[in-house]
Structure 1
Amino acid sequence: MGKGVTFLLLALVLCHALTVATGYKGEKQRRKEREREESGEEGEGGRRAEDMFLMRRSTRVIRTDAGEMRVVRSLGGRIIEKPLHIGFITMEPQSLFIPQYLDSSLILFVRTGEARVGCIYKDEMVERRLKIGDVFPIPAGSTFYILNPGEGQRLHIICSIDPSESLNLDTFQSFFIGGGTYPASVLAGFSPETLSSAFNVSVSRLTEMLSRQQEGPIVHIAPAHAPSIWTKLSQLKEEDRLMQVKRMVQGEVEQVKEWSWWSLFGMFSENEGNLFKDKAPDSYNIYKKSPDFRNDYGWSVAVDGSDYKPLKDHGTGIYLVNLTAGSMMAPHMNPRASEYGIVLRGSGRIQIVFPNGTLGMDTKVREGDVFWVPRYFAFCQLASRSSPFEFFGFTTSSLKNRPQFLVGANSLLHTFNTPELAAAFGVTEERIRRFINAQNEAVILPAAPGGDEDVKRASVKFEAVPEV
């Protein structure tokens, strides 16, 4: 028995040692991975730390002859307090994104072209005409459609997709009101007998209505391209046209006349005034707002809930920045929100710094790239020397952001210019004063005389505080 006890104790000791060793090895490996992440080196999966901030995962979720939609998905993680996906919608001239509702809220921004957006607002169908620079929100669960009425102009829309109310089935979930074999209408899921009774029509007529559309979620509406389900709307007045979509959503029925979306374009000029006689929010044009800041090196605009109330309801802000060639948005941090940026024009670099003072990302970006900056992280944007750099984006708060600039004539170093600050840097008060006063510009700074590479290689030298 004594030998058995001795063997059992020996086994327990060996198991404990193995557990400790395994735990140490696992912790050591996790520590190495954290160090690689903070230094920007590649981990085991080949992923660089900078990939955290440059959103590369673009997925085409819709593609038809009349247009497409791509979505750049937000990364998950503990430091993302409100993830936003970014959508890119492209529609050919005279096309329609058919009526649907989503489990996520959208904020549309018209990049190029013109659009007609119809949606349900407080049980009423409303329409808005959107032009370049216009912003318009669509709440989750609100049925909407998007029309491109232009005859020779493609429509490009950038949108934020807020999944905070989503079903978490995918990036977002569409529920199509209209549809057929592709896409399927949500109505098609009910039994034919149930729908026949609800619509007060025959099963054969119902079957024909729910099986004719096969052109996809974005369809041509010009007579030369129009699919059969959208081809006949000739006699309806503007009020009847708006009510038709509402009836489709509510499941109400009347003896439906043959109609299409095409003929609504002939009604725009005649009924323009009536389309906007409602209490729904209008669109907001960011290009028409006076810059919050402007100097010789660029300008910036921010729009929050106090400027445009629908943003307050969505808990989101928007911004637009234009930098002249070679200039930079001074290093700063956002105390209230993360931000998602989309490069609209030109090229430049984005630098983001980890909380431990190491460089998290220093990456060149160009038109179409999407980046995000976590709340509190210090960062700056630098325009290339060859062209201006323009970027638009969304913030995760509708409150005034009040960015805190770390460099420049309005930096918090000026506000905090005390003996304690000098001691924190280990220099004399006179030295720190000369150092922070060397830059006379604020917010948007001029190009460094030596060029980008010289700036990257430059080092800062301080005068040490004499020992006491």
Structure 2
Amino acid sequence: MAFTSLSLAFLFLVASHGCLAQLGQQQRQGMQLLGLRGTEQHRLRAKTDCGLQSINAREADHRIEAEGGITEIWDPKYNVEFWCAGVAAVRHVLQPKGLLLPSYTSAPQMGIQGTVIPGCPETYESVSQSREQEMQRIRDRHQKIRRIQEGDIIALPAGVAHWAYNDGDTPLICVALVDKANDANQLDLDLRRFYLAGNPKGQQQSLGRQEQEQRRRPSHKQNGNVFRGFDEQILAEVFNVDIETARRLQGRDERRGNIVLVERELQVISPQYQEEEWEREQEREHERGLNGLEETICTLRLRENIASPTRADVYNPRGGRVSTINSHNLPILDWVQLSAERGVLYRNAIMAPLWNVNAHSIIYILRGSGRIQIVGNSGKSMFDDHVKEGQFIVVPQNFAVIKKASGDGLEWIAFKTNGNAITSQLAGRVSAIRNMPEEVLMNSYDISRDKARNLKYNRDEMTVFSPQSRSQREG
């Protein structure tokens, strides 16, 4: 799913039975991936005196009800942590046969859904046989439509038009991060989305989480799509259509909101996949990316699945697993400068304490619950509380964080504001403490050599720690 205005973003598919999506054409279609280096990301617009005194687990600030689903928004105007990180977040819930109207944003985003890329040719077309002329007549042409499934991550460059359709029989949930402070966004840090259809305002409800510490900035309410501001006569001339069609483009009388229901099935041209074919296609796309064959934005691989246990980069059978997606396994992330981490902790397991060296981390709780602690540079606890499904929490760059699962486990997706985010652990086999000399630890903490060795070697696991009994800790 995708939502919120952005220059670049990550989308993550939380749950779906089936979904079709398409991304807009990218204006820089001639750029070659092999020679493409990521846009240097300066986050100066986020480096403000944001007055970050504490961190909170956030639920949505706005809720928009539409005919075919619900959109929830985490607005940086009302969340000081989001403002400081220069990001916003959106969650779409599409009911069966729900169509998220086409739109684009001024910033990149990361999450899940399909896309349409600007300037690229239509590669899918349907034809019918004309009996009178005995020749094929083209009925429809459009760009490639991508089928997405649970666990897919899609990266969307700024200005790329996209839509999503739920062709399954259960709700489709899409979560997206919008990186407003990315250099690709040359507007401001307000959340802006530019719709190409309908009247996306819907029934908007403010959830009333405006705190006194939060910044007051002008509101950009969504009152219509971009065609609405043009003269209808000019639109009719531009598209060479009648006035009634031009008025339909403007959506002045629309009341269905930004997610509409399709009366029948959405009839689009898209190859049908069985599960085995889907897996083979994923493998082929990954191999093409590794072999450098995706030369232009029109053929660029935008999707990677992060949910499968076999995809894990770190696995502890007693603790859980962690999977990452960055510019090395999804090259477009070198351009949009975003990456993601998918974590699963089993009952009472712990994620090694760490800090993000070169990125903010924006965590969305997918399932379960747990305790998260965040500590700032002054040694002050910025957050120490339980988190639950559906909440976002921001971990600023270099702030130390620990995650511990509750009895029902903890699953999350973390969006990171760098195409190759790096973490440094505080405990475990690859930690900073493990790699320091014993003498340094003895004198730094005023402890004996035995205790320094225990500090270094007692926890030999790498990133995901299994729960320990009280007797183990006392021993």
The answer to whether the superposition gives a TM-score over 0.5 is yes
Residue 398, structure 1, aligned to residue 438, structure 2: no
For residues 119-144 of structure 1, the C-alpha deviation after alignment (integer angstroms, 9 at most, x for no partner) is: 12443433211111111122221122
Q: Could you tell me which residue of structure 2 aligns to residue 309 of structure 1?
A: 331
Q: Is the 8 Å Cα contact of residues 120 and 126 (structure 1) preserved in structure 2?
A: no
Q: CA deviation at 1:301?
A: 1.0
Q: Is the 8 Å Cα contact of residues 89 and 158 (structure 1) preserved in structure 2?
A: yes
Q: CA deviation at 1:48?
A: 10
| Whole-angstrom distance in 2 between the partners of 1:65 and 1:204 | 23
| Whole-angstrom distance in 2 between the partners of 1:202 and 1:284 | 42
Residue 339 and residue 204 in structure 1: after superposition, are their counterparts in 2 closer, same or farther (change >3 A)? closer
Residue 426, structure 1, aligned to residue 426, structure 2: no
Question: Which of 180, 195, 199 in structure 2 is aligned with 1:163?
Answer: 180
For residues 384-416 of structure 1, the C-alpha deviation after alignment (integer angstroms, 9 at most, x for no partner) is: 1x2221111101111151x22212233221210
Question: Which of 141, 149, 173 in structure 1 is aligned with 2:167?
Answer: 149
Q: CA deviation at 1:306?
A: 0.8
| Whole-angstrom distance in 2 between the partners of 1:78 and 1:270 | 40
Identical-residue share of aligned pairs (%): 21
Q: Is the 8 Å Cα contact of residues 417 and 433 (structure 1) preserved in structure 2?
A: no
With a CA cutoff of 8 Å and minimum separation of 6, indicate the structure with the bigger relative contact order. Answer: 2
Q: Which amino acid aligns with 1:218?
A: I
Q: CA deviation at 1:263?
A: 4.7
Question: Which of 227, 231, 242 in structure 2 is aligned with 1:191?
Answer: 231
Residue 123, structure 1, aligned to residue 127, structure 2: no
Q: Is the 8 Å Cα contact of residues 119 and 138 (structure 1) preserved in structure 2?
A: no
For residues 106-157 of structure 1, the C-alpha deviation after alignment (integer angstroms, 9 at most, x for no partner) is: 2123xxxxx6x2412443433211111111122221122111112x211101
1:101-140 to 2 correspondences below 5 Å: 101-109=104-112, 117-124=114-121, 125-140=143-158
| Whole-angstrom distance in 2 between the partners of 1:419 and 1:207 | 77
| Whole-angstrom distance in 2 between the partners of 1:78 and 1:128 | 30
| Whole-angstrom distance in 2 between the partners of 1:213 and 1:87 | 23
For residues 443-468 of structure 1, the C-alpha deviation after alignment (integer angstroms, 9 at most, x for no partner) is: 222324249xx99xx9xxxxxxxxxx
Question: Which of 67, 70, 77 in structure 1 is aligned with 2:69?
Answer: 67
Size of the alignment, in residue pairs? 356
Question: Which of 79, 92, 109 in structure 1 is aligned with 2:95?
Answer: 92
Residue 435 and residue 178 in structure 1: after superposition, are their counterparts in 2 closer, same or farther (change >3 A)? closer
Q: Match of 1:388, SS?
A: strand
Q: Is the 8 Å Cα contact of residues 356 and 421 (structure 2) preserved in structure 1?
A: no
Residue 421 and residue 127 in structure 1: after superposition, are their counterparts in 2 closer, same or farther (change >3 A)? same
Tell me which protein shows more helix as a share of its residues.
Answer: 1
Tell me the C-alpha RMSD between the 2 structures: 3.3
Q: Could you tell me which residue of structure 2 aligns to residue 436 of structure 1?
A: 456
Residue 169 and residue 307 in structure 1: after superposition, are their counterparts in 2 closer, same or farther (change >3 A)? closer
Q: Match of 1:380, SS?
A: strand
Q: CA deviation at 1:59?
A: 1.7
Q: Match of 2:450, SS?
A: helix
Residue 357 and residue 448 in structure 1: after superposition, are their counterparts in 2 closer, same or farther (change >3 A)? farther
Q: CA deviation at 1:379?
A: 1.3
Q: Is the 8 Å Cα contact of residues 82 and 88 (structure 2) preserved in structure 1?
A: no
Q: Is the 8 Å Cα contact of residues 145 and 270 (structure 2) preserved in structure 1?
A: no
| Whole-angstrom distance in 1 between the partners of 2:440 and 2:415 | 36
| Whole-angstrom distance in 1 between the partners of 2:247 and 2:88 | 36
Residue 205 and residue 355 in structure 1: after superposition, are their counterparts in 2 closer, same or farther (change >3 A)? closer
Residue 325 and residue 166 in structure 1: after superposition, are their counterparts in 2 closer, same or farther (change >3 A)? farther
Q: Is the 8 Å Cα contact of residues 53 and 373 (structure 1) preserved in structure 2?
A: no
Q: Is the 8 Å Cα contact of residues 357 and 421 (structure 2) preserved in structure 1?
A: no
For residues 287-334 of structure 1, the C-alpha deviation after alignment (integer angstroms, 9 at most, x for no partner) is: 246321111211111111111012221101100111110110121112
Residue 48 and residue 363 in structure 1: after superposition, are their counterparts in 2 closer, same or farther (change >3 A)? farther
Residue 448 and residue 219 in structure 1: after superposition, are their counterparts in 2 closer, same or farther (change >3 A)? same
1:8-47 to 2 correspondences below 5 Å: none
Q: Match of 2:116, SS?
A: strand
1:295-306 to 2 correspondences below 5 Å: 295=316, 296-306=318-328
Q: Match of 2:145, SS?
A: strand
TM-score, scaled to structure 1: 0.68
Residue 120 and residue 419 in structure 1: after superposition, are their counterparts in 2 closer, same or farther (change >3 A)? same
TM-score, scaled to structure 2: 0.67
For residues 413-452 of structure 1, the C-alpha deviation after alignment (integer angstroms, 9 at most, x for no partner) is: 121024233111122333312343332333222324249x
For residues 262-285 of structure 1, the C-alpha deviation after alignment (integer angstroms, 9 at most, x for no partner) is: 4515x4457999x99962424211
Q: Could you tell me which residue of structure 2 aligns to residue 446 of structure 1?
A: 466
Q: Could you tell me which residue of structure 2 aligns to residue 360 of structure 1?
A: 382
Q: Could you tell me which residue of structure 2 aligns to residue 227 of structure 1?
A: none
Residue 222, structure 1, aligned to residue 270, structure 2: no
| Whole-angstrom distance in 2 between the partners of 1:436 and 1:380 | 18
